[in-house]
Amino acid sequence: MQHEALDVLIVEDEPQLATLHAEFLEKNFHLRVVAYAATLAEARAKVNDHQPRLILLDNFLPDGQGIALMEEAAVKKPGCSVIFITAASDMNTCSQAIRNGAFDYIIKPVSYKRLRNSLERFMQFVQTQHTFKVIDQSNVDALYNLQSKQFSSEPGTKGIETNTLELVQALFIDRPNVAHAVEDVVEKAGISKTTARRYLEYCVTTQFVKVEMLYGKIGHPRRLYRKA
pLDDT > 70? residue 218: no
Give the predicted TM-score (pTM) of the model.
0.67
Helix (H, G, I), strand (E, B), or coil: what is residue 42? helix
Q: What is the mean pLDDT of the chain?
A: 85
Q: How does pLDDT run across 173-200, given as a tens digit for each residue?
A: 888 888 999 999 999 889 998 899 888 8
User: What's the pLDDT score for residue 146?
Assistant: 63
Helix (H, G, I), strand (E, B), or coil: what is residue 64? strand
Residues 160 and 166: their CA atoms lie apart, in Å, by 10
Q: CB-based burial of residue 17 (10 Å sphere; 0-12 exposed, 13-18 middle, 19+ buried)?
A: buried
Q: For residue 190, how far is the Cα from the chain centroid?
A: 25
User: What's the pLDDT score for residue 1?
Assistant: 44
Lowest mean pLDDT among 111-115, 148-152, 165-169: 148-152
pLDDT > 60? residue 152: no
Average pLDDT over residues 152-162: 65
* 101: Cβ contacts below 8 Å, ≥ 6 apart: 70, 76, 82
Residues 146 and 125: their CA atoms lie apart, in Å, by 6
Q: Comparing 173 with 156, which gets the higher pLDDT? A: 173
Residues 209 and 197: their CA atoms lie apart, in Å, by 13
